[in-house]
Amino acid sequence: MMTTTLNKSANRVVLENISWQTYQDLLLDCAEQPGIRLTYDRGKLEIMTPLDPHESNSEVIGRFVTAITEELNIEIRSLGSRTCQREDLARGLESDKCFYIQNEAIVRSLEQIDLNEYPPPDLAIEIDITSSSMNRLGIYSALGVPEIWRYDNGRLVILRLEDGEYRECDRSPSLPLLTPSEIMRFLELRKTMGETSLIRLFREWVRSQVKAQE
């Protein structure tokens, strides 16, 4: 029997006892509606519509990743909020942003990436302006995503997967120039400057760090 819980304040609907096939059908139905996010965990399905602060923070943090990899000449594959899922685990979710970095060359030529055959994204970005009712970290862990940047209520943490659990670390394993405090410092500047100027300033900072290490 399917049961439903509605959380109006967080723009979320939670459904219980949902089959994998129903989840797949909903993914297809929502494919043309990028404002809807689905999270599935062994029969439990959450449908969420992100709010403006959620989307804004996601875009800016994603641009930081793009900017620093361009400055460092690191090849990446950006997959936005693509669905990461595995039927054998009965789990799936859409990150706010995800990137292949270390494994970019492995998936570069693939039109569609099957996580049963290929590694998951190396980095996922999670924005928790409104807390999910699902254990999203548990889903990421099951899928084997090695690094997550999680931003919530004015705090950003970098998490690294170790022995099946996420642990906070003091800098990004994928992009070691970046620490949580540096990312937050630039995020805070959004309150006083436009996004284009912010990214330009961020690029200048990256260049200065590279030069300092030469």
Structural domain contains residue 40: no
Structural domain contains residue 11: no
The domain containing residue 185 runs over which residues? 51-213
Q: What is the mean pLDDT of residues 189-209?
A: 95
In the chain, which ranges are E strands? 4-7, 12-15, 37-41, 44-48, 77-78, 83-86, 91-94, 97-100, 123-127, 147-152, 155-162, 165-169
Give the rounded percent of residues in the chain with a pLDDT score beyond 90.
72
CATH number at residue 194: 3.90.1570
pLDDT of residue 8 exceeding 50, the answer is: no
Structural domain contains residue 30: no
Q: Over the stretch 200-211, which tens digit does the pLDDT of each residue have?
A: 999 999 999 999
Structural domain contains residue 172: yes
CA angle 112/72/211 to nearest 5° reads 170
pLDDT of residue 33 exceeding 80, the answer is: no
Whole-angstrom distance, CA of residue 18 vs CA of residue 20: 7
Give the rounded percent of residues in the chain with a pLDDT score beyond 70.
91
How far lies 182's CA from each of 30, 66, 115, 158, 165, in Å? 36, 16, 32, 12, 24
Per the model's pLDDT, the better-predicted residue between 107 and 9 turns out to be 107
Residue-level pLDDT at 132 = 67
Structural domain contains residue 32: no
**Per-residue b/e over 199-208, b at no fewer than 16 CB within 10 Å?**
beebeebbee
Q: Over the stretch 120-169, which tens digit does the pLDDT of each residue have?
A: 999 999 987 556 678 999 999 999 999 999 998 789 999 999 999 999 99
Mean pLDDT of the chain: 89
Structural domain contains residue 114: yes
Residue-level pLDDT at 10 = 54
Number of domains in the chain: 1
pLDDT of residue 19 exceeding 60, the answer is: yes
Residue-level pLDDT at 34 = 65
Structural domain contains residue 39: no
Q: Is 181 helix (H, G, I), strand (E, B) or coil?
A: helix
**pTM, 2 dp:** 0.89
Whole-angstrom distance, CA of residue 86 vs CA of residue 120: 10
Q: What is the mean pLDDT of residues 63-91?
A: 95
Residue-level pLDDT at 44 = 94
Residue-level pLDDT at 11 = 75
Count CB-CB contacts under 10 A for residue 211: 8
Structural domain contains residue 8: no
Q: Which residues pair with 152 in a beta bridge?
A: 155
pLDDT of residue 170 exceeding 50, the answer is: yes
